[in-house]
Chains A and B, each alone.
Chain A
Amino acid sequence: MRKHIAILLIGVLFSVGVVGCASKDVATTNTNQSTTNSGKTAEELLVEKYEEPVKVKVVLGYRDPENPDTPDSVTPETQTAVKLLKEELNIELEYSWIVNSDQYSQKFGAELAAGNLPDIMMLSMEQFEDLQSQGGLGDLTEAYEQYRTDDIDAIINYDGQVLDTCRKDGKLYGLYNGTYQGQVTSQIYYDMNKLKELGIEEVSDLPTTIAEFEALCDKLMALDLDGNGKVGDPVLPAAKGMNSGLADFGAFFQAYETALGGWYDDGNGNLISSHTQENMKKALTKLNEWYDKGYFAKDFAAQDVYAANAPIVSDIVAGKYAIIPGSWWIPNWPLNDNKKNDPDADWVVGPTLTVDGAAPTILVPRISSGTIVAVSKDFKNPEALFKMMNWSLNYEAKIANPEYKENMTPEQKLEADSYVYTWLPYRVYAPMSLIDNYNFISEADKVGKTEITAEEAPANSEFWGAWNAYLQMKNGSTDPVVWGLYTSRVSPNGGVAQMYELYSKSEKWINEVYVTTPTMIKKQGELDKYETTTFLSMVMGETPISDFDKFVAQWEQLGGSEIQAEVNEWYKNK
């Protein structure tokens, strides 16, 4: 059980991902903000305590504390963060309802139908459009101008343009919290230990073209990796989510310069959709050949990597595969579990696959996916949102700092380790923290630094986990959990490093569309479903690839053309 908890905590630390200005004193942070009528700077305003209590009606979807030792008395309403918000800012959080995360959308939908919105809420892009068009959201323009600081901008406007997605007619209706664009890229992991048998010694021996990759797979087919006494078992894990980030087709689509969703400029100012182009047909043709050769399990389309106890994941953990396509994070799950079973496993990210040796153009979003924090139009104190965010930044950074942690009481420590402070109705996550931390640790590694003060450290609390993993690996740790963190975040052959490399060096097509058009709200779900089932069925050979044109026609007819017209209209008037 102990072990489990340790894994949990580290896992959660990195999924929660918080940012702050570490122990930097807020008041001394240099910003370029204007002062207000009252003559106070944004920093002063942000920490100013309200004279009269300000009640903030919020809602919450949450999970039980990850640390099972958390006392029952720690609830969303009694957690330290709520008490401190009251003490330090005189902000009183009132939870209208609190449910498990899984019941959140249901409760939100029902409450919205009854005309109820909380004062502060987290929304998807679709919800944002919908609520804004109904006039339900409050104007944040003024509050933002008064309360913006560099620390807050580093989150909600990290690239200087993302904030504009929430502007309507010049007014700001939400704060966008996105992710690093490079996270959409795909990678292929190879277990160098297993591949030795095939004469592959170095990363440079790994395939770089689809043809070489196929040759390697053919050789693997002739081996009995899982030791079940027969050859010809599947060599590539695959599942129904073609873009799910683990055991998916992303890396192959990437090689063929195509992707499942996205609208990019064809060079003449017209947006075209990526998955209806010829390249997708080529990619599917190849995948179908591979399916026929037996690279994928015959029933792969029934597999879901995210289902509890998914067999596909068990197979990966059991070491049945030497090649695993996926995203930057898979060393942290499930490759670390494989490493636990097989300490000799030596996973590295291989070269980006190409069709003909020329580096592929990748499709990346203009605005990465994320959530929007907004306030209700009835909320009288929109500035409270900025105060609370700023407060959280400081608080989360403070309690992640190892020095500060040492002085905590056991109860405080228990609560901090349970990550209950994420039970707040907004999120503060620095989109660039993965890259910042990687760059920082690589630099430190070059000069052989092993001591970091809180002042020097990148201003996000994710940093300490990555840093510790780095130090432990340096000291020869064999803990698979540490290995997972290190390989995904720090290793030069690992996830983040290779993602950063690919993203910054590649030619890009930009997926321009981040708006939700009326037809998308109604038909996108159906279209995606149709696309997924058709593509899966083409890979499995149930639908001939020659029907691709029919698919495109049908897709257009089901709403694709309407969407295309709408996004082009929007693009031209942007």
Chain B
Amino acid sequence: MKIKDSMSRKVFNVFNIVVLSLVTLSCVLPILHILALSLSDSTAAAAGKVSFYPINFSLEAYKYLIEKKDFFNSVGISVLRVVIGSVINMFLIVLTAYPLSKSSVNFKHRNKYMIFFAITMFIGGGLIPTYMVIKSLNLLNSFWVLILPGAVSIWNVIIMMNFFRGIPHAMEEAAAIDGASHWQILFQVFLPMSLPALASLLLFTMIGHWNSWFDGMFYMNSPEKYPMATFLATQIINNNKNITNMTPEQLAAMNALSDKSIRSSQLFLSIIPILIVYPFLQRFFIKGIVVGSVKE
């Protein structure tokens, strides 16, 4: 910028930086607050003295979590879910998106399949019938109930499909003339060219699995099988609701037990993986989102 900034421009620049800083802070401060709470002595936390740095630094909450085991047990389930779930999801996304990316001229039944999948985006049977189906498949209380019902994500398939469509036809034709099968074209030509899209879908899929909680709560038969997010969600719900069902004495007992430091330490631990993974993949996924969301 060679042109000299006018006075109003300078004022605007300052204003702009202030506003954006505030918005940025709104995303950072809650995390800092939670971290500070988790590292504070529980009485200081309960008294509301903690803001963005620990008061009476204490690792008690984390020690408690390590001793209590149930939280880390649920983290273990979540890790397994992320690994297995993401592999299966990505595999199905790629496999399903490829045929659908063909035009109906090249793949006669393409539109029928598309309609078959698209319908499920608009209408569902609801929770109860789904529960009945899962029950009759004997999937209830099984790890696979966290993976299989959501294994085909039509939205992600569509994003991938649109990305595939953006790959120049010439590439595909050249491979076909060389005698390559669809499998070879998909894995040797398309996939290497789709890394940004794959990376962003992978990120979203992994985080989706890490964050899902409703299925765990609904389909599992005991809290020991809950993934981490369900573990946390039920804790919030339990503190927040249904309190009316408790006797006053139980309520008093529960209020005395609710420990801000422990709750905060769980919250903080559960976001660490996201904070770690995100910066590495962010380069890719910004490209991926833009390509997937809006087609030219």
Contacts and interface: CB of A to CB of B under 8 A. Distances in A.
Nearest to B67: A72
Given A306-B243, A307-B243, A7 B252 contact: yes
B256 interface: yes
B253 A99 contact: no
A72 B127 contact: no
Contacts of B217: 103, 106
Nearest to B258: A308
A142 to B, nearest CB: 32
B225 to A, nearest CB: 10
Contact of A97 (B128, B221, B237, B245): B221
A96 interface: yes
Given A110-B131, A113-B132, A99 B252 contact: no
Contacts of A110: 127-128, 131, 218
B250 interface: yes
Interface string A90-116: 000001111111110011001001101
B258 A98 contact: no
Given A8-B256, A8-B257, A100 B249 contact: no
A324 to B, nearest CB: 13
Interface residues of B, number: 38
Nearest to B255: A308
Contacts of B218: 106, 110
Contacts of B255: 308-309
Interface string A76-102: 000000000000000000011111111
Contact of B256 (A7, A15, A114): A7
Contacts of B246: 306
Contact of B249 (A14, A309, A337): A14
A330 B238 CA distance: 23
Interface string A333-361: 11001000000000000000000000000
A332 B249 contact: yes
B248 A246 contact: yes
A96 B242 contact: no
B141 interface: yes
Contacts of B26: none
Contacts of B128: 110, 113
B244 interface: yes
Nearest to B64: A68
Contact of B247 (A15, A72, A241): A15
A100 B223 CA distance: 7
B271 to A, nearest CB: 23
B251 A333 contact: yes
Nearest to A7: B256
A4 interface: yes
B169 interface: no
Contacts of B9: none
Given A306-B243, A309-B255, A114 B250 contact: no
Nearest to A97: B221
Contacts of A113: 128, 131-132
B8 interface: no
A103 B70 CA distance: 18
Contacts of B239: 308
A98 to B, nearest CB: 4
B238 A102 contact: yes
B108 interface: no
Interface in A197-235: none
Nearest to A76: B222
Interface in A285-320: 304, 306-309
A11 B249 contact: yes
A264 interface: no
Interface string B95-106: 000000000000
Nearest to B240: A308
A11 B237 contact: no
Contacts of A114: 131-132, 135-136
Contacts of A334: 248, 252
B10 interface: no
Most buried by B among A4, A7, A102: A102
Given A8-B256, A110-B128, A308-B243, A97 B222 contact: yes
14 contacts: A7-B253, A11-B253, A12-B249, A72-B70, A100-B234, A110-B131, A113-B128, A114-B135, A114-B136, A245-B248, A308-B239, A308-B254, A332-B248, A332-B249
Given A15-B250, A113-B128, 14 more contacts: A15-B248, A95-B222, A98-B223, A100-B238, A102-B242, A106-B218, A113-B132, A114-B135, A246-B248, A308-B240, A308-B243, A309-B255, A333-B252, A334-B248
Closest 3 CB pairs of A and B: A97-B221, A11-B249, A15-B249
Interface of A: 4, 7-8, 11-12, 14-15, 63, 66, 68, 72, 95-103, 106-107, 110, 113-114, 116, 241, 245-246, 304, 306-309, 329-330, 332-334, 337
